């Protein structure tokens, strides 16, 4: 049968709206209840029903697969995630946003950091499990996307802006710039953002899970020099704007040392990339986490080629 989905505050309201739109009566309509309206932790969930004329022959290719239990792949996945969050002691609501060519699920949590994790690592792990559940018993793989408070769109926007800024910086400094390790999905975003950019190209280097992107300017002055880490390059810009740091006013421009230089000054990495500290100061060990991104209230916060 060719089903069409309708929603309402209650199941009765959704059925009534559907019958009126399809010009059917209950006697000559086949009705399936997908979701009963109910109140949840945040707001409420609308009732969802599917209605089709009896004896209809056509079935949409992207129609949700309904098991003997009466639940679709997406509904089974939502049920699984709700159980998973209970086991993890995470207070969250799970909503099936859509189910057609792909299953889209949104999660709303009291503490979204417990669902998202650093740079979305936890969210990606949850999505992987959800994909496995949704595709159990299916002949053809269906993509599953799990999001939390619009994190994925925000993260993509952040990476696009980051790519543009670092590309301009690479051209200005005439040096390669190395980004932090990313997963294939995020590397693909960076590659796509700079695919048509003038004056730079991008390459992926390293091995999983520490594979990363290097932005290479066409006007590179010395290709033998190692790439500049993105975080160090950004820190140097801040120091340039401040005028060699706060130490200028207190100890003759010796960086970030305090009065009398009792603790030693913070010295920038030299441009040769050797990482050797300047004389008279204490070097700071470079972090492998080149940049941090804060998205929403997340707290700590196929390959692309």
pLDDT at 12: 85
One fold for 73-149 and 156-249: no
Whether the pLDDT of residue 248 is over 50: the answer is no
Longest dimension (CA), the chain: 90
CATH class of 156-249: alpha beta
The burial class, CB within 10 Å (0-12 / 13-18 / 19+), for 14 is buried
Q: Could you report the per-residue pLDDT of 12-53, keeping only the tens digit for each? A: 888 888 888 888 888 888 888 887 776 655 566 788 888 888
Q: Could you report the per-residue pLDDT of 256-265, keeping only the tens digit for each? A: 344 444 444 4
Q: Could you report the per-residue pLDDT of 91-144, keeping only the tens digit for each? A: 999 999 998 888 999 999 999 999 999 888 899 999 999 999 999 888 888 899
Q: Could you report the per-residue pLDDT of 181-239, keeping only the tens digit for each? A: 998 889 999 999 999 999 999 999 999 889 999 999 999 999 999 999 987 444 444 44
Q: Give the C-alpha separation, 191 to 235, whole Å.
A: 24
Hey, where are the domains in the chain?
Answer: 4-53, 73-149, 156-249
pLDDT at 16: 85
Q: Which CATH architecture has domain 73-149?
A: 2-Layer Sandwich (3.30)
Taken in order 295, 301, 302, 305, is the CA torsion positive or negative?
positive
Between 269 and 147, whose confidence is greater?
A: 147
Whether the pLDDT of residue 74 is over 50: the answer is yes
What is this structure's pTM? 0.52
């Amino acid at each position: 049968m060719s089903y069409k989905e309708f929603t309402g505050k209650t199941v009765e309201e959704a059925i009534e709206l559907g019958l009126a739109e399809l010009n059917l009566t209950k006697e000559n309509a086949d009705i399936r209840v997908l979701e009963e309206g109910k109140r949840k932790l945040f707001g409420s969930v609308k009732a969802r029903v599917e209605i089709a004329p009896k004896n209809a022959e056509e079935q949409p290719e992207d129609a949700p697969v309904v098991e003997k239990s009466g639940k679709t792949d997406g509904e089974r996945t939502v049920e699984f995630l709700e159980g998973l969050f209970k086991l993890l002691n995470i207070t969250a609501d799970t909503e099936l946003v859509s189910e057609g060519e792909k299953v889209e699920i949104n999660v709303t949590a009291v503490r979204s950091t417990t669902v998202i994790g650093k740079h979305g690592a936890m969210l990606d792990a949850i999505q992987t499990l959800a994909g496995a559940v949704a595709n159990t018993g299916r002949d053809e793989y269906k993509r599953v996307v799990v999001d939390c408070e619009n994190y994925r769109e925000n993260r993509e926007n952040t990476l696009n802006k980051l790519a543009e800024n670092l590309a301009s910086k690479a051209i200005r400094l005439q040096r390669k710039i190395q980004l932090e390790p990313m997963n294939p999905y995020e590397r693909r975003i960076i590659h796509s953002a700079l695919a048509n950019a003038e004056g730079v190209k991008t390459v992926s280097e390293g091995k999983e899970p520490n594979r990363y992107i290097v932005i290479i300017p066409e006007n590179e002055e010395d290709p033998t020099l190692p790439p500049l880490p993105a975080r160090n390059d950004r820190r140097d810009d801040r120091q340039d704007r401040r005028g060699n740091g706060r130490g200028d006013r207190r100890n003759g421009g010796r960086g970030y040392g305090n009065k009398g230089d009792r603790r030693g000054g913070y010295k920038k990495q030299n441009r040769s990339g050797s990482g050797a500290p300047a004389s008279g100061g204490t070097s700071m060990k470079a972090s492998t986490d080149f940049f941090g991104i804060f998205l929403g209230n997340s707290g700590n916060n196929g390959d692309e080629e």
